[in-house]
Each structure stands twice: as C-alpha cells, then as structure tokens.
Amino acid sequence: MKFNFSLDAALIITALTALLYLVAQVFLAGYISIFGADITVLNLTVQDKLYYGFLKSLVHTLYFTLALFVLFIAVPSIFNNFGGNIWLHKKLQNLRVAIHKDTKHRPVIHNSSFELEKALLHKDFKERAFLSCLNLSDNLGVRSAELRKLI
C-alpha cells in the first residue's frame, strides 16, 4: 500500500487556522468564565476569534519558529563549517570499535541467580535434612548414633 502525503499551503493554512481558533476559544472561555458568563455573550465572529488567537499565540509561535530555525539551519551549518563531521565520524568509529571489541562476552541470563539458588538448595538438601533429623532426634531424646545407623 502506497501512502502519499504532501504538505502544501492549503493544509498548512487549515491547520494554522484551526490552531488560532482553538487558542482564542480556550482563552476567551477561560477569561469570561471567571465572571460567570458564557462565551456566546460576546457574540464574536470567527474572524475576531482568529485575531484573538493570533495575538495570544504570537510570542509562542515566534519562539517555536526560532527554535526550528536554530535546530534545522543554524546548528547544521555551524557543525559542518567547523569540522563537526570529522569529529562525529571519529566518535562513531571509536564507538564501533568499543562495541565489537569484546565478542566473547556472553550476557547473563536474567534469572540465573534463581537457577543458581535452586541448584544450591538441591545440593544441600541431604545435609539439611540430616541436620534437621539430628536436631529433631536430640529434642526427642533419641541418640544420634542410633539415628546415624538408620540413615
């Protein structure tokens, strides 16, 4: 399935208009609700709401545009003009060498400690059973020599 998407002027203007209308609607509704009134009392047109939205979001829009400019134009040009590509290439080469350096390393299984404890418990089971029988026999008054003969 092929998905074509083109960002043309109509789509940008539609999105911007919706954003400005939404900003104005939310701002005016919040401002008017303090006085216990509804926004329909103002009887504003769509054009007036777009103006309010533009005025309220102008500063944020300018900051966002400036951030995009710095991110996509200024930083790459500074990076390319001052040898950033060579520096980045060296860093990536060093990282690649560090990753492939220790190829014999095997990662630890996440539940290996559980398996180790299980093996140790099974190994020590006979000793623990014998010691608990001795302890029980001492409490019951049976001689441990007789118990050892039985085991």
For the whole model, what pTM was predicted?
A: 0.43
Query: Could you report the per-residue pLDDT of 95-118, keeping only the tens digit for each?
Result: 887 777 766 666 666 666 666 676
- Across residues 14-30, what is the average pLDDT? 91
Contact 21, 50 (CB under 8 A): yes
Distance CA 95, CA 82 (A): 22
Query: Could you report the per-residue pLDDT of 35-91, keeping only the tens digit for each?
Result: 988 888 889 999 999 999 999 888 988 898 899 888 888 877 777 777 767 777 788
What is each CA distance from 107 to 1, 43, 111, 115, in whole angstroms? 40, 68, 12, 15
